[in-house]
Structure 1
């Protein structure tokens, strides 16, 4: 299985993470996903009243230097870690 296929598989698995997954971890995944699928941030930062969108933009901006492959690998690793934690605490 290639990296792209594995990434897509873990993107589906990420949707099964428990609701108790922290917002911080969700933002990390969001940033890595956007970097892997879109590349560097290509929009302007949302306004100060749009807190959720601003947090997502910041998470994406934080991983801007990573290549798409690095972002995919980091995303897969993070989803694996979160799934293991969820299984351990269940």
Structure 2
């Protein structure tokens, strides 16, 4: 796994034709944030901010995952989405 592969996957996800489900978006977001910033270090958003809270929870759920593993998971998920789109 290289930084280039990760960056190519980041670009490829924007080219997908089928919209991602909310769960897929949160998963991709969490892997991206973990890969680029590491563990979530932001305070928990207020419950009234549903979107921010969901994103925080998704990212915080994978706390401790290495940046390299997060990159691998991100690339694997993009590959899966591309295959599903081609089928």
Q: TM-score band (shorter)?
A: over 0.9
- 1:51-80 Cα shifts (integer Å, max 9, x gaps): 111111111011112100000000000011
* Superposition RMSD in Å: 1.2
Moved over 4 A (4+): none
- Choose 12-21 or 38-47, whichever is displaced more: 12-21
Separation (CA, whole Å) in 1 of partners of 2:76 and 2:17: 17
CA distance 1:67–1:87, change in 2 (3 Å): same
Is residue 21 of structure 2 the alignment partner of residue 26 of structure 1? no
Instruction: Calculate the TM-score normalised by the size of structure 1.
Output: 0.90
Gaps in structure 1 of 5+ consecutive residues: none
C-alpha spacing 1:7/1:61, structure 2 compared with 1 (3 Å): same
TM-score by length of 2: 0.93
Aligned length: 87
Q: Does structure 1 residue 58 correspond to structure 2 residue 57? A: yes
Alignment of 1:1-90 (within 5 A): 3-88=2-87
